[in-house]
Amino acid sequence: MKIIIVYDNEALQEGLKADWGFSCLIEPENGQRILFDTGASGSILLHNLERLNIDPCAIPEVFISHAHWDHTGGLLDLLKLNKEVKVYIPSSCPKPPGAGKVISITGPVQIHENVFSTGELNGIEQSLVIRAREGLAVITGCSHPGVKAILQAASSLGKVDALIGGLHGFREFDLLRDLKLVCPCHCTQFKSEIRRLYPEKCLDCGAGKVLEI
C-alpha cells in the first residue's frame, strides 16, 4: 500500500505548497484510490495534486474524516472537476453541495476489501483503517475523539501497526510503544516529543511524503 501526503502544514518536496490542513492519497494493494480529506484550500489541493502527477478526475472516492474547514475546504473545487466521485462523510458532516453519491457513516463499516471506517467516534470524526501486508494502518484527520479511542476502535479488526495523520494534543505516548510506524502530521502539537521517544519509527510528515506500508 502506498500513501502520498498531498496537503500538510509542511512541504517536503520542491514545488508543493504547505498550508494548514491535511489530505493524503491512499493506494491500497489491489484496490482503488481513496483521497483522505481535502485540506483547507481547493487551489492548493489541486496545485499539489498536479505537481504530484495525480489526476483529480481519476480519484474515484473521497473519505472525509470530519467537517472542519481544514479537512473539507478543497472538496468543492475537486467536485467541480470530478462529479462522479463518491464521498464518505461522518454522519455529523453536512452533505457537500455538488456531490453525486454521498455515503453518511455512523457506525463501523467495511468500505472495500481490507478498507474500513472506525465509524464516527464521539459524534465528530471517523478514521480510516486499512489492512496492509504488515498489519493495520490507521489514518486520522485530527484525532478529536482521542488517539486511544481511535486505536481501540481499529483494534477490533486486528493488530494496529501504523498510525498516520493529525494527532492534535495527544500526549499518551505509551500508546505508540507497540506500533511499527508513526507519522504525525498536520495539527500534532508534540511531534518533537514523539520523535525523541520513538526515533526508530517516527517519520516526518509533509506534502510530497510517500509511505510504503
CATH number (domain holding residue 202)? 3.60.15.10
CB-count burial class (<10 Å; 0-12, 13-18, 19+) for 14 = exposed
Please, are residues 166 and 141 in contact by the beta-carbon 8 Å criterion? yes
pLDDT band at 23 (very low <50, low <70, confident <90, very high): very high
Number of structural domains in the chain: 1
Q: What is the pLDDT of residues 103-142, one digit of tens each?
A: 999 999 999 999 999 999 999 999 999 998 879 999 999 9
Question: Other C-beta atoms within 10 Å of 161: how many?
Answer: 18
Q: What is the pLDDT of residues 60-104, one digit of tens each?
A: 999 999 999 999 999 999 999 999 999 999 999 999 988 889 999
Query: What pLDDT is stored for residue 159 in this prediction?
Result: 95
Taking Cα atoms as reference points, which of 36, 14, 21 lies closest to residue 211? 36
- Strand 34-36 versus strand 61-63 pairing type: parallel
**Which residues sit opposite 34 in a β-bridge?**
26, 61
Domain region containing 183:
2-212
Whether the per-residue pLDDT at 9 is higher than 90: the answer is yes
In angstroms, the CA 135 to CA 158 distance is: 8
Q: Which residues contact 39 (CB under 8 A, 6 or more apart)?
A: 6, 7, 19, 21, 22, 23, 45, 70, 71, 73, 74
pTM of the model: 0.97
Whether the per-residue pLDDT at 56 is higher than 90: the answer is yes
Q: Which residues contact 185 (CB under 8 A, 6 or more apart)?
A: 5, 8, 9, 22, 164, 165, 166, 167, 205, 206
Query: What pLDDT is stored for residue 133 in this prediction?
Result: 82
Question: How does the average pLDDT of the chain come out, rounded?
Answer: 96
